[in-house]
Structures are given as structure tokens and as C-alpha cells.
Amino acid sequence: MNFELPSDLQSYLSRLDAFIKDKILPLQHKDDNNRFFDHRREASRTQWDNQGLPTEEWEDILRQARKLADEAGFYRFAFPKEFGGTGSDSQNLYMSAIRYHLASHSVYGGGVSLANDLQNEHSVVGNNPIVIMLYHYGTPEQQRTFIPASIRGEFRATFGLTEIHHGSDATHMDTTAKPITMPSGEPGYSISGNKKWQTGMHSATHCLIFARTSGKAGSPKGITAFVVPRDTQGLTVHSYQWTLNMPTDHATVLLEDVRVPASAILGPVDNGLAIAQTFTHENRIRQASSSCGAARYCIDRSVEYAKKRTVFGKPLASNQAIQWPLVELSTQAEMLRLLILRTAVEMDQVTAACKANGQAPWVAIEKQLGHKIGMCNYYANRLATEAADRAIQVHGGVGYSRHHPFEHIWRHFRRYRITEGSEEVQIRKVAAYLFGYKTTGEEGEKSSTEEELKRSESKL
């Protein structure tokens, strides 16, 4: 058993570091661009008098960085091969290692830098779920039209699953889509309802809207996904939610008789939730990697500071009250890092087996590894906030200030204990495996009945 990263992956990380040093950091340090990353970051990024939206200057520098990364061959690493990606058979391992590296590296500020600023999922190695969804479920026309446009930044879609009254209980959505005949005579749908937390709505060209087209509330069947142009009549932005970490781009969207042709459907009619699940596990293991990396950054900076800081005539690091919490966090971070990498390797193995059999990998990944991915994700997101909090405490008053990134890291990563599948939902999933209410299929085809699962969920 080899716990070292593959040599080609280590080489990739070295090339990535060199690119960031030669191209990205000079852009960050150019003129007064550091205002977006130092103690002025939140104020410089936010239009306080315009709904709290991102400033144009902030988003422009992010675009410049992505363009440089794309020209250098880094940005599309995880994209499908025919659209400039690598098509690597070890993509989950690679992306997990890359995101951990970028979030833990001291130069990259725990995810607060132009190379990797996770507040808005910006990275020189792109992570684009919409491209993956279009690749697996789009019609040939949708793929030809939207995927190249997305890579160029000309197609930007929100993800319309969460609603005002429904979050984790997505199968109970209020939004409905009813068949109609369009003025042109072609079949279409009228969509009415609402969506909340529509990230990127301020600059979106389209919205990916999930709506119930048949069936009863609570059933996963009967939900269809639609690609709806932003300027379609009846689609309006009701508000933007101001958040713990600003700026915001999270909108509440109202839909009233929004009419689209049937060609706007993405994927199978009445089985649209499968689209939402396409990228869930890949995204969660990557987020776990980023959170674990941010935790490592906070730990390492705290150790470094404690060794340099002198109090009462001796190094701060000589106090057990400083040592022990950091030892606990460091131990947890290292164990978690190894679990993430092992799970990523297993995801790649399951994916390869499914591709060989012509099957969709995400179904098998959910069945065999869903509980491990849940472990990685919920624990990493919690660990990141705990490590940031400890870093603030170790650094004292200066840690509480915005002259260090710890308060920003805490405020940002706190969201993932809710948004990337709440930790309660993920813990419940792990418990379902642990207590036998759900199986991996490795011990035969025995599985729990729907009634047994419901009983287990009520207990959990």
C-alpha cells in the first residue's frame, strides 16, 4: 500500500505552483489588487449600496485569472476530454489533491487568494458542475451550444433546486411545470413557483430550474429540469440574501407562467433529480478536500505564530493550553486527509468499472461510497471552522482582526455545514449504513425496504 501521491500528480502540482508564482501572484500584487485579499477584502468586493452584489472590479480580476489559467492549460483539467479536459482515470484523486494543496498552501491564504478564492468557487483549476451535467444529459444541440459558451464565460447558469419553503426536502418542491402549446405551435411548458439561494443570479444568462411535472409531493419521480433563459418573461429576481460573508450573489427568484419550449428540457422528463445527483459526490469530495486544506492552513499558521510569539518571557508555544488543541486538530486533519484521498481513489475505481460496463458511475458511487463521502464532507467542513476558530484564539487580538484571513475562512467555510448537503443529512446517511438500514451491496443484494428506511430516519 502506497500513501504517496503519484509522481505525475506531484509533478502537476509543481507546475501549477510555478504557473501561479509566475502569472497569478504578479496579477494579484499589481496596482492595488491586493485590496481584494487583505484586510480590505470584504469592502472592496462588495457593492454595499447595490444589494450587496460583487463589484465589477472584483469579478473582472477573477476573469483575468481564469483566462490566464485556461491559456496555460490548467483551468479545464476536470472538464470532459473533448472540451479540453484531461480525461484522467484518476480525476477524483487528482482534484482532491489539487484542492487540498491550493487551500493549505501558505502563499494561497487558506483559500483567500487570486489563485484559489473559494468564497465564490474561484480557482485556477476549474470546478464547473453545469458543464458535467450538460455533458451527461444535454441533447447534442445543447452540448454544442452551451458547453463551449460556458467555457468562454458566455453561458452562466444558476442551479434551481432549493426553494423558499424547501431545502433538503427537495422532492416537496412548490414549483410546477404544466404542458402548453407555444405560440409557434410547438409543445412547451408553463413554469410557476419560486427558487431561493440561486448563486450567480446577478450575472446569469440562464437558470437550471427543477419543477414538478407529475407525481405527488415527496416522490423523486415526476421532477424535470429546464434550461430557462434569464430574460424569459415571468422570471424575476425578488431579492438577494445578505450573508455572513459578503458579497452576495444568492437570489430569490419568482416564476410566474414562465413559458419555455420542450427543447428547454435537460435530461429525461420526470426524472430530473438524476441530473442533480450527477455531480454531487464529486463536488462533495472536492469540497471536503478544500475544507481539510483550509483547516491545515489554520493549524500550520497557528503553530508558526505560537513559536515566534513571546509572552511572559517565553514562547507562546511552550504552553500546553496552546499545544494540546492544535495537536488534536492536526491529528484530525491528517486522518481526514488520508480518508479523503482513499475515498477519492475508490471513487475512481468504481467509475472505471462502471465505464467498462457502460453504466452511470454516480449510482454505484452512491450505493458503495455514499457513506464515506458523507464522512469526509461533513467532518471536513466542521473541522475547517474549528481550526479557524482556534487560529483566531491562538493569534489573540490580531487573529480577531481582518489583518489575518482566519475570520474570513471561518465565515466562508461555515456555510458548507449547510449548503453542501447539511451535516445533519450527511450524518444520517452515515448512520443508515452504520446501523444496517442501508447497505453498500457488497454483501449481496439485500436492501432495506422503503418503510424500514423511513423508520430509521425518524429514529436518527
Give me the DSSP letters along 8-73.
Answer: HHHHHHHHHHHHIIIIIHHHHHSTTGGGGTSTTHHHHHEETTTTTEEPHHHHHHHHHHHHHHHHTT
Its CATH architecture, for the domain 157-266, is: Beta Barrel (2.40)
Q: What is the DSSP string of 228-280?
A: EETT-TTEEEEEE---SSS---EEEEEEEEEEEEGGGEESSTTBTHHHHHHTH
Q: What pLDDT does residue 362 have? A: 86
Beta strands in 72-222 (DSSP E): 116-117, 122-123, 157-160, 176-181, 187-199, 206-212
153: left (phi over 0), alpha (psi -120 to 50) or beta: left
For residue 381, the SS3 value is helix
In 3D space, the residue among 386, 389, 460 whose CA is nearest the CA of residue 417 turns out to be 386
Angle, in degrees to the nearest 10, between helices 320-356 and 361-395: 170
Q: What's the pTM?
A: 0.92
Q: What pLDDT does residue 245 have? A: 93
- Confidence category of residue 453, pLDDT binned at 50, 70, 90: very low
Q: Compute the chain's Rg from CA coordinates.
A: 23
Mean pLDDT of 60-84: 94
The per-residue pLDDT for range 135-167, each reduced to its tens digit, is 999 999 999 999 999 988 899 999 999 999 998
Phi, psi (deg, nearest 5) at residue 279:
-115, 5
- Confidence category of residue 459, pLDDT binned at 50, 70, 90: very low
Range from 50-64, 255-269, 419-433 carrying the lowest mean pLDDT? 419-433
Range from 192-201, 354-363, 433-442 carrying the lowest mean pLDDT? 433-442
- Confidence category of residue 279, pLDDT binned at 50, 70, 90: confident
Range from 23-27, 238-242, 263-267, 416-420 carrying the lowest mean pLDDT? 416-420
Residues 6+ apart with CB under 8 A from 128: 78, 79, 150
- Confidence category of residue 439, pLDDT binned at 50, 70, 90: low
How far is residue 289's CA from residue 340's CA, in Å, rounded to a whole number? 7
- Mean pLDDT, the chain, as a whole number? 92
Yes or no: say if 419 and 440 are a contact pair by the CB < 8 Å rule.
no
Q: What is the CATH number of domain 7-128+275-435?
A: 1.20.140.10
β-strand 122-123 against 116-117: which pairing, if any?
antiparallel
- Residue type (1 letter), 95: M
The per-residue pLDDT for range 354-366, each reduced to its tens digit, is 989 988 888 899 9
Residue 309 pLDDT > 70, yes or no?
yes
- Confidence category of residue 440, pLDDT binned at 50, 70, 90: low
Q: What pLDDT does residue 257 have? A: 97
Q: What pLDDT does residue 294 have? A: 96
Q: What pLDDT does residue 452 have? A: 38
Q: What pLDDT does residue 441 have? A: 53
Q: For the chain, give every domain's residue range.
A: 7-128+275-435, 157-266
CA quadruple 140, 349, 419, 175: dihedral sign: positive
Residue 336 pLDDT > 60, yes or no?
yes
Range from 109-113, 231-235, 280-284 carrying the lowest mean pLDDT? 109-113
% of the chain with per-residue pLDDT over 70: 95
C-alpha cell at 67: 483566462
- Confidence category of residue 56, pLDDT binned at 50, 70, 90: very high
103 half-sphere exposure, CB direction, 13 A CA radius: 33
- Residue type (1 letter), 293: G
- How is residue 5 annotated by DSSP? P
C-alpha cell at 174: 412548490
Q: What pLDDT does residue 38 have? A: 95
How far is C-alpha 278 from the geometric centre of its chain's CA atoms? 13
Q: What pLDDT does residue 31 have? A: 95
Residues 6+ apart with CB under 8 A from 78: 85, 86, 91, 95, 125, 126, 127, 128
For residue 324, the SS3 value is helix
The per-residue pLDDT for range 225-274, each reduced to its tens digit, is 999 999 999 999 999 999 999 999 999 999 999 999 999 999 999 999 88
C-alpha cell at 222: 415526476
How far is C-alpha 96 from the geometric centre of its chain's CA atoms? 12
Residue 295 pLDDT > 60, yes or no?
yes
For residue 102, the SS3 value is helix
Residues 6+ apart with CB under 8 A from 460: 427, 428, 431, 432
